[in-house]
């Protein structure tokens, strides 16, 4: 399913979440409006390494970021492998891969229009309390 986020389209695999598409759209809308910091949905994580990386991403608090290297250290792997797994996240935004950044750059983003949306999501979360 596709959802609108800050004028961009983000594709979410609705089959990975345990809520209706209408409920998921409502929660995305609340997030964009600044009224929601977490998604109240159960996510079926893929088996294997991608699922392991997604579990680490889910633990990153709203408004904070972690580097690919920090996640790699936690998973005893390489930052490049973490980045590749982030790109396979079937539910970006719900599992916040936008909160994973490079040590010296923003890094990539597979949703919307890529890094521009990633930057907007990070700014949105950092400014939510203002």
The CA radius of gyration of the chain, in Å to the nearest whole number, is: 14
Catalytic: 86? Answer: no
Residue among 5, 97, 117, 121 flagged as catalytic = 97
Closest residue by Cα to residue 53 from 14, 97, 15, 16: 97
Cα 7 to Cα 62, 76, 78, 104, distances in angstroms? 21, 37, 34, 27
Active site residues: 97
């Amino acid at each position: 399913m596709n959802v609108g986020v800050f004028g961009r389209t983000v594709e979410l695999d609705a089959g990975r979440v345990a809520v209706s598409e209408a409920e998921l759209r409502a929660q995305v809308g609340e997030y964009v409006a600044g009224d929601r910091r977490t998604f109240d949905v159960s996510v079926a994580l893929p088996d294997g390494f991608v699922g392991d990386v997604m579990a680490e991403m889910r633990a990153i608090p709203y408004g904070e970021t972690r580097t690919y290297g920090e996640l790699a250290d936690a998973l005893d792997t390489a930052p490049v492998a973490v980045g590749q797994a982030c790109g396979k996240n079937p539910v970006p935004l719900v599992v916040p891969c936008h909160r994973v950044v490079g040590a010296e750059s923003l890094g990539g983003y597979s949703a919307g229009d890529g890094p521009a949306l990633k930057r907007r999501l990070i700014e949105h979360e950092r400014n939510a309390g203002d």
